[in-house]
Amino acid sequence: MSIWTRISQALSALASGEGLSAVFDRLRTPPERSVAFTIAVIALGAKMAKADGLVTRDEVTAFREVFHIPPEAEAGAARVFNLARQDVAGFEEYADRIARMFDETSGTLCDLLEGLFHIALADGDYHPKEDAFLAQVAEIFGLPEAQFQRLRARFVPDAAPDPYSVLGVEPDMPTAQIRKVWRGLVRESHPDRMIARGLPEEAVKMSEKRLVAINRAWEQIQAREAG
């Protein structure tokens, strides 16, 4: 049974009136946690896309980029997205359920927020309501403000991303310590580690763009130190 079939079954249960708690309780153990992760991105992404009052084709396309949907699964994925849009549960409830499922120290909640940032920026515009939405989701997830700002620095084009903010370090930190942080972020972005955290294989492509941003930031810091 494909992941999209399992996701469709879970969302169909929600659409038929089964409680969100009951559905998520069935998805607490691997490999079903990857289904829960995908449902969370779908539901939160669909609700965030409407935060600025408009769901664009770019945002739907961004969701497809995050999830590597094969051609034979596109019909099922479209059904999943439509079911998520029809669900009456508020985004706070989804965010709370997923926060209870994943330990905030595992990195999975940060992975999920990263996917939402990708969707939010897909249309080239970052609306203040989307910023408020993501900040509230991060708060429900229990993510530190510094971690939210680090993600924001990587994605939001309101200024050139500060390399120290991208890595979550201070400019006055010793270079050796910054290098240690950089290497840790690279390790955490390895596909095997992301899958172990409960991400579906379809979502692991996010790590490629993350690694580009992390490595670029480290190169910029090295250049500044050398200069």
Question: For 100-139, what is each residue's pLDDT tens digit?
Answer: 877 665 678 888 888 888 878 877 778 888 899 999 999 9
pLDDT at residue 58 tops 70: no
More confident residue, 194 or 220: 220
More confident residue, 227 or 5: 5
Q: Which residues contact 132 (CB under 8 A, 6 or more apart)?
A: 51
As to burial, measured by CB atoms within 10 angstroms (0-12 exposed, 13-18 middle, 19+ buried), residue 147 is middle
pLDDT at 69: 65
Nearest-angstrom CA–CA distance, 166 and 92: 27
pLDDT at 151: 85
Cβ neighbours, 10 Å, residue 86:
11
Preceding amide of 200 cis, omega within 30: no
Nearest-angstrom CA–CA distance, 214 and 164: 10
Answer yes or no: are the C-beta atoms of 215 and 186 closer than 8 Å: yes
| Residue range 129-154: mean pLDDT, rounded | 89
> What are the start-end ranges of the H helices in the chain?
3-15, 20-25, 32-49, 57-67, 74-86, 91-101, 108-120, 128-141, 145-155, 163-167, 175-188, 191-196, 206-226
Nearest-angstrom CA–CA distance, 58 and 64: 10
